[in-house]
A = this chain, B = another copy of it.
């Protein structure tokens, strides 16, 4: 089931809170944000901010309160496992001043999962059923322990394979917007050389976001240009202006949508 679409209002916005000391130490790279960003773009939800915070209650509470107040959707990853450093559920409950409880459905799912595998349910594993009162479960087809949604915050696992599966089950429930259309181009020229003309095109096409990304290759400078808009006609007009301005413009074969 596709998410419902509302093309008449400004596009819904989202923020991501990535929870985990290991990300702030540089030991682990955040794989969930790029995945989330691409998934949201397909359904027309604009990811507007990402915060990486430690496994600390106050840091999580502050981020959840700040971002849930200004965005339509907030996604979190990390900190919903069974160990002592998994404190996200308690922090999110506190952020919304809600009691935390053992969610009966989550408990039942975990109990069934462990029983089928001859694994002992213990207090640590039971922690994974602790959720704010009123939470709606997000399915975990990988390892049973659900994520949850409360108000406009969707709390999911940090392990990327589980995050992806949880997100896939969640997205059809969300209201998206007009999808953002994207076109990518390449110029074998340095940014400094093309900047004036590019800036003029950007100014002349206010409904299109034009980004410019340089790289330095052994055989010379290269600039990738990415155009994004929710309005197909505006995007097409800007692409035509770009093509007219730069005779050596080529499509970016490794650009968005092209693998």
User: Interface residues, chain A, CB within 8 Å of chain B?
Assistant: 20-30, 33-38, 41, 46-55, 59, 81-85, 119, 122-125, 127, 142-143, 159, 161, 182, 190-196, 198-199, 202-203, 209-216, 226, 228, 255-256
Neighbouring B residues of A203 by C-beta, 8 Å: 84
C-alpha gap A142/B215 in the complex (Å) = 12
Q: In this complex, what residue of B is CB-closest to A51?
A: B51
Q: Determine which of B29, B55, B192, B198 lies in contact with A34 in the assembled complex, contact meaning CB atoms within 8 Å.
A: B29
Report how many copies the assembly holds.
2
Q: In this complex, what residue of B is CB-closest to A37?
A: B26
Neighbouring B residues of A226 by C-beta, 8 Å: 22, 25, 27
Q: Are B38 and A26 in contact (CB under 8 A)?
A: yes
**New A-B pairs, 15, CB < 8 Å, besides A27-B256, A84-B210:** A21-B209, A21-B211, A24-B49, A25-B182, A26-B37, A26-B41, A50-B52, A81-B212, A83-B191, A83-B212, A84-B212, A85-B210, A119-B192, A125-B192, A159-B214
A-B contact pairs, 30 of them (CB 8 A): A22-B226, A23-B50, A24-B48, A25-B37, A25-B47, A25-B226, A25-B228, A25-B256, A26-B35, A26-B38, A48-B54, A48-B59, A49-B51, A49-B54, A50-B50, A81-B214, A82-B191, A84-B195, A84-B198, A84-B202, A84-B212, A85-B211, A119-B190, A123-B196, A124-B191, A125-B195, A159-B214, A159-B215, A159-B216, A161-B216
Q: Are B53 and A41 in contact (CB under 8 A)?
A: no
